[in-house]
Amino acid sequence: MRITHLTASGELGGAERVALECLQAVRSWPGVEASLIALSRGPVVEAAASVGAGAAAVEAPSEVALLGDAFASTGATVRAMVPALQRFPGFYRRFADAVRASEPDVIHSHGIKTHVLSGLMARRAAVVWHIHDYLGMRSMSSKLARVLGNQCALAIAVSESVAEDARRVLPTSVPVRAIHNAIDTDRFSPSGPAADLDAFSGLAAPAAGTIRIGLPATFAKWKGHETFLQSIARIKSRTVRAYVIGDALYETRNSQWSRGELVALTRDLGLSDRVGFTGAIHDMPSAYRALDIVVHASTRPEPFGLVIAEAMACGRALVASPEGGAGELFVDGVHARAASGGDPAALAKALEQLIGQPERRAALGIAAREHAARAFGRPRFEQALRTALDRVTASSPVPESVR
């Protein structure tokens, strides 16, 4: 049995990291070979190759890569679609050749663009869509998913919240299974080196006793950077330093902040000496360990929230937006503190309480670690993935040990 995973980006965003977890899981099953194809070059391709999987990049032309639902309600839709459609045939031929070369029995897609592409290849392999987003919130994507959904043998949603949304969008013939994402709880742990976030940010070391608070996220506009910075501006304590950890990863237009825009906002809020921009950090466990408090501040319902699971596994005190699938990951006051997304005052209040209570921070971190090890460990994920894929592989010559 050969399974080919597809990712829309070569960067290590949330969907790409989940694709790597899936690839790792299925490669451990007897008689199964796994490979990965990304629509751009980057570390996800290198990571797949490093574990012995076949890995390739088929770079999408910029006209295709930049398409997204940001266009759906604007007059730019047609102007954007015309050049994309002109470039699509040549790109699709290269993509289809790469997929055919991997000789897949199953195509496992991660991301809207690859869902569309996999739907066009459904006659060659069984298609599984791993749904990382709310399809119903995306005008163009929901229409495409509804049309191409009949080509999908199974949809895996990253949370019950996403699964409910997918069932409303996809044809009723498509089975939808919710599987919470996995993380490597040996790698994401409280033990290990801590990153020098000040060096990454080009800042001098802060005074002793400074509380470090960080927002790890891509620069997608809904990830709450504005809320985070406004909440830091409300905190009276001067023994606080905040860090924006991440970068703009995806190519889709109008969907993310630029670093320059966030730096300008920081300056306007009078925070230039209190906020550091680290850029993307590939050793994320070391970044979490450097923080006293981790913030998840998404302003719209979060499909899952890998940052939440990773921070808890690293034993960090966490303040998180509970909307959407994120609310399935923790119990407020037990594993983390909840603060409604888009509310700087609520976030600042939760942060100030934790800043002044070191014992509370420690207790939350201990409970969070124990919970993450149980809820997000790889064994649980692998078993759930096997059970879900059984529907796809039941009619294929797969060893009994896989089923």
pLDDT of residue 254: 61
pLDDT of residue 403: 37
Alpha-carbon distance of 399 to 77, in angstroms, equals 47
Q: Say how far residue 77 (Cα) sits from the centre of its chain.
A: 26
Alpha-carbon distance of 91 to 88, in angstroms, equals 5
pLDDT of residue 80: 62
3-class DSSP state of 58:
coil
Q: CATH class for domain 197-375? A: alpha beta
From first to last of its 403 residues, what are the pLDDT tens digits of the chain? 899 999 999 988 889 999 999 998 988 888 899 999 999 999 999 999 998 899 999 998 877 776 666 444 445 555 666 677 777 888 899 999 999 999 999 999 999 889 999 988 888 899 999 999 999 988 778 888 888 888 999 999 999 999 999 999 999 999 999 999 999 999 999 999 999 999 999 999 999 999 999 999 999 999 999 999 999 999 988 799 999 999 986 655 567 899 999 999 999 999 999 999 999 998 999 999 999 999 999 999 999 999 999 999 999 999 999 999 999 999 999 999 999 999 999 999 999 999 999 999 999 999 999 999 999 999 999 999 999 988 786 654 444 433 3
- Contact, 2 vs 35, CB < 8 A? yes
Shared fold status for 2-182+377-402 and 197-375: yes
DSSP secondary-structure letter at 17? H
Helical spans, DSSP H, in 121-252: 139-148, 160-169, 197-201, 225-234
pLDDT of residue 188: 97
For the beta sheet containing 33-38, the strands, ordered from the edge strand earlier in sequence to the opposite edge, are 54-57, 33-38, 2-7, 106-110, 126-131, 154-157, 176-178
Helical spans, DSSP H, in 43-196: 43-50, 62-65, 76-101, 112-120, 139-148, 160-169
Alpha-carbon distance of 92 to 340, in angstroms, equals 42
pLDDT of residue 66: 67
Q: Does domain 2-182+377-402 have CATH number 3.40.50.2300?
A: no
Q: Where are the domains of the chain?
A: 2-182+377-402, 197-375
pLDDT of residue 390: 81
Helix H or strand E segment including 355: helix 344-355
